[in-house]
Amino acid sequence: MVVIIGLTSAAAIRNATSGERATNNIRLQSQAQQYAEAALRYCESEVTKANDTRVATLRNANIVQTAFGAPQAGWEDPATWTGAGLASASRTTLPIAQIKSDDSSVTPATRPQCVAERQILADGGLVMVITARGFSPGYTANANGITTGGSVVWLQSISYLE
């Protein structure tokens, strides 16, 4: 009888621990999502301002122009996010003042980022593509920008120009 109670208790503890891990992973994913949304909103609002009033990284001179759907467009190139890629001049890190939280002790070690680029459509039209990334508080990556821990969420908006 003691063995059966012990095994049942061990199974219950294992299930509780698994549930707690799953809940924590969902919380981290949700935080990364919120940070990505904040970065996307910030960068969208910056590119709608007059060029000379924008944050320096999102001024027209730093926004590259590529063909829509081209392989390894600026935002798709990992080097853009590590500082050497096609669109890296427009890589913008969200100012700390823009990160709002009910708990000021919970901030991501890596602040949210965005990249902006103009893309030419097949019909000659022009769109602005803004890609944002948000990171969970425990996010880590290697030198190539590959996630090694925590969570990262990518969001993108496309708006027609002219």
Closest C-alpha to 152, from 144, 143, 162, 137: 137
Domain spans in the chain, listed from the N-terminal domain onward = 2-161
pLDDT at 134 over 90: yes
- Average pLDDT of the chain, as a whole number: 86
pLDDT band at residue 102 under the 50/70/90 scheme: low
Report the DSSP pairing between strands 64-67 and 92-93: unpaired
- 135-151 average pLDDT score: 86
- Tell me the C-alpha to C-alpha distance, in Å, between residue 124 and each of 65, 67, 127, 132, 162: 12, 10, 10, 25, 11
- 42-51 average pLDDT score: 93
What confidence tens digit (pLDDT) does each residue in 52-73 have?
999 999 999 999 988 887 776 6
pLDDT band at residue 101 under the 50/70/90 scheme: low
What confidence tens digit (pLDDT) does each residue in 80-96 have?
888 888 888 999 999 98
Q: pTM for this structure?
A: 0.81
Taking residue 124's Cβ as centre, other Cβ atoms within 10 Å add up to: 6
Q: CA–CA separation, 34 vs 65, rounded Å?
A: 28
Which amino acid, one-letter code, is at 155?
Answer: L
